[in-house]
Amino acid sequence: MDGTPRILTIGFALGLVFCRGATAAGAVESPTPTVYAKGLSASIEGTRLRPARLVFTDSHLVVDLQGYGSERFDYETIRFQRIRTPVQWSLFDKKYWLSTLSGAPMFYLLGPYTLAGYLGAIHAVELSSWLASRGKRERLGLHSDDPHRSSQVALPRNAKLRNAILDEFARRFAGKLRTRPPDSSTLPEQEPYPVAGNQAPDFTLTALNGMAWNLARLRGSVVLVNFWATWCEPCRQELPQLQQLYERHSDDGLVVLGVSDEDPGKARQYLEEHGISYPSLHDGTGSVMQSYQVGAIPTSLIIDRDGQLLQRMEGYKPTSAFEKALRPLLAQTSAESGR
């Protein structure tokens, strides 16, 4: 068994080489349409992620799940959000170990050295994939209201291929995208406004229950505004956490407002089915999202008692992040009300 570490190391090295070769492959392209397939996975209308390909034509984009359905998005009506979601290293995932160990008996029968090489190669591939993504997975949220359709596209971990897809989006219809990507060289980047410390732009919107809400009239309360959509997976993960914050701190002066620009009936149905009771407002024209230059969802804004924007939180955030930001404001509110 003295050679086991050596075999394990060789397997690990071979896994790294294999992973590098697998991720270096480029897109499958033709003049029209342009097709990207390597390293992509996608879901349609909230289904689980499956291997997919993106087909760009002159007039529309097709998300093809290769045997599990497809969805078409016309360039004239599509909306686009770029999302970053944390990725857990597979070595801490039970499903990874169940899958890995299922093949271990066969390799053990071939000898302990073969088993060591197998485990080394598997771990090397997983580690290389996780390091390449820097612990996060880039996703595109595609949405259209005419008629309603949505899709989540998990972009390849390979940076060169990922940027090629983003550049293809820019080349086809950059002017029609609602996006603020952090690392694309082609899609335009725009600083959010207003910055923290400035007065939050006032707005009046109608909630899904028909009640009008005006931001200026909420002075004296701490306001958490969350921009979300039913088709956005990170948004769906945040909603129960925001509901808990609402229930826990509403008596301390916290007002939680959701803001969505999608069909009110669809949004209302989703909230009722999942027990979300804090007010959700309909921004049908997108004017509020535009005034705050919300380029990705979920995005949350924390506004103090005087109407100043104190913090802007883009992307999915755990409950602890919201608690950390809100705790001093709510404590201050409670202290002043007790005087």
- Catalogue all structural domains in the chain, each as residue range(s) with its CATH number: 1-30+88-132 (no CATH), 33-84+138-183 (2.30.29.30), 204-337 (3.40.30.10)
| DSSP-derived 3-state class of residue 214 | strand
CA distance 313 to 301: 6
Print burial letters for 152-166: b (CB count within 10 Å at least 16), e (below 16).
Answer: bbbbbbbeebbbbbb
Contact partners, residue 218, CB within 8 Å, separation at least 6: 255, 303
Angstrom distances, CA of residue 220 to CA of 100, 195, 254, 304: 56, 21, 10, 8
Contact partners, residue 142, CB within 8 Å, separation at least 6: 61, 63, 71, 73, 78, 79, 80, 150, 151, 152, 153
Angstrom distances, CA of residue 227 to CA of 232, 258, 293, 332: 10, 6, 11, 26
Each of the 339 residues of the chain gets a pLDDT tens digit; together they read: 455 565 556 555 555 544 444 443 344 444 467 888 888 888 887 677 788 999 888 888 889 988 888 888 887 777 766 666 555 555 556 665 666 667 677 766 777 777 677 667 766 666 665 555 455 667 777 777 655 677 878 888 777 888 888 888 777 765 444 433 333 333 333 444 455 668 899 999 999 999 999 999 999 999 999 999 887 778 888 999 999 999 999 999 999 999 998 889 989 999 999 999 999 999 988 889 888 888 778 889 999 999 999 988 888 888 999 999 998 888 765 555 555
pTM exceeding 0.85: no
Check if the beta carbon of residue 87 is closer than 8 Å to that of residue 130.
yes
